[in-house]
Amino acid sequence: MIEFTKIHGNGNDFIVIDEVDREIVQDSNKADFAVKYCDRRFGIGGDGVIYVSRPDNADLKMRLFQPDASEAEMCGNGIRCLVKYGFDSGYISLGTSTVDTMTGVLKVSTRRDDTFWVKVDMGMPLEKREQIPAEGDPEDDFIDITMHDHRVSVVNTGVPHAVVFVDNLDIDLMEVAPKIRFDAVFPKGANVNFVKVESDSEITVRTYERGVEGETLSCGTGSVAAAYVAHKKGMTGNKVQVRTKGGELNIVIDSDTTYMEGPAETVYNGVILK
């Protein structure tokens, strides 16, 4: 019998497994478990499975396995869901705490009104090819290239992201995005974000996520990437509201870091009977 909690951040939904006291799903089975139970018809349904534990170097630890069996380095909406679970379980209190991810330990802060809000210190996006990673001249400071008939800007905000600015978001995402996502320039692949600038403080984003291999209702790291590139190109100010199909995120770009704030909501608790 495996207990789980379903939590979403702006419609980006996850199956959360508590491994604070003991290992519930063996490491060798975690990837296959995600493939099976993320299925929306024959499983629970989700954009990934988050395993929660308590490391020595942080308050919580997040591991995220995706529907294609890959393990993601980080996930902006996922980390908010993990923090919501940690708070509900009494592992952390309102205020400041830390989460260990594959990309390092991230600081988070929480507040609550009618909604449970999580603000994540995402650090500065990485721009060099070797940091993304992306093939090409390692001395490139910022990648802004034409790829598959689109101008593509590339940064790493915990995972690789390609950012494409468009005038109209009514596009065939499943036709266009995979060509960029699977391009040989990205040895580990890349998430692909199509972005429409609404004003100097608002953008709308649609994201094709690597690992999910489809469009998600929201992507936290993608929202940070889109807002950062828009600001870098002078299209917006440093405070950007990002609209996604699942809701809104608030992004702040400071001189030495970026912040993402958004909601997390518990959907239900359940039990898998083996």
Does one domain contain both 96 and 135? no
Q: Do 61 and 31 belong to one domain? A: yes
Shared domain for 248 and 268, answered yes or no, is: no
Q: Is 213 annotated as a binding residue?
A: no
CA distance 110 to 96: 7
Cα distances (angstroms) measured from residue 181 to each of 62, 144, 222: 25, 15, 13
Is 77 part of any known ligand binding site?
yes
Structural domains of the chain, count: 2
Q: Is 220 annotated as a binding residue?
A: yes
257 is in an annotated binding site: no
How many residues are listed for the chain in this entry?
A: 274
- Sign of the Cα pseudo-torsion (17, 14, 165, 242, in order): negative
Query: Does position 274 have pLDDT exceeding 80, yes or no?
Result: no
CB 245 within 8 A of CB 206: yes
| 248 and 134 within one domain | yes
Catalytic residue among 49, 75, 177, 260: 75
Same structural domain, 207 and 163: yes
Please indicate if the annotation marks 54 as binding a ligand: no
Give the pLDDT confidence of 226-265 residue by residue, as tens digits.
999 999 999 999 999 999 999 999 999 999 999 999 999 9
User: In this structure, are 213 and 266 located in the same domain?
Assistant: no
142 lies in the same domain as 211: yes
> Which CATH number do you get for residue 96?
3.10.310.10
Backbone angles phi, psi at 55, to 5 degrees: -85, 175
140 pLDDT higher than 90? no
Question: Which among 167, 125, 164 has a CA at the least distance from the CA of 144?
Answer: 164
| 138 pLDDT higher than 90 | no
- 81 catalytic? Reply is no
What percent of the chain lies above the pLDDT cut of 90?
A: 97
Q: Active site includes 75?
A: yes
Same domain as 106, residue 135: no
- Domain encompassing residue 93: 2-121+262-272
209 labelled binding-site residue: yes
Same domain, 85 and 29: yes
Question: Which of these is catalytic: 162, 219, 224, 251?
Answer: 219
* pLDDT at res. 137: 87
Same domain, 176 and 65: no
The answer to whether the annotation marks 76 as part of a ligand binding site is yes
- Do 97 and 158 reside in the same domain of the chain? no
pLDDT in tens, 173-199: 999 999 999 999 999 999 999 999 999
Instruction: Return d(Cα 180, Cα 166) in angstroms, integer.
Output: 15
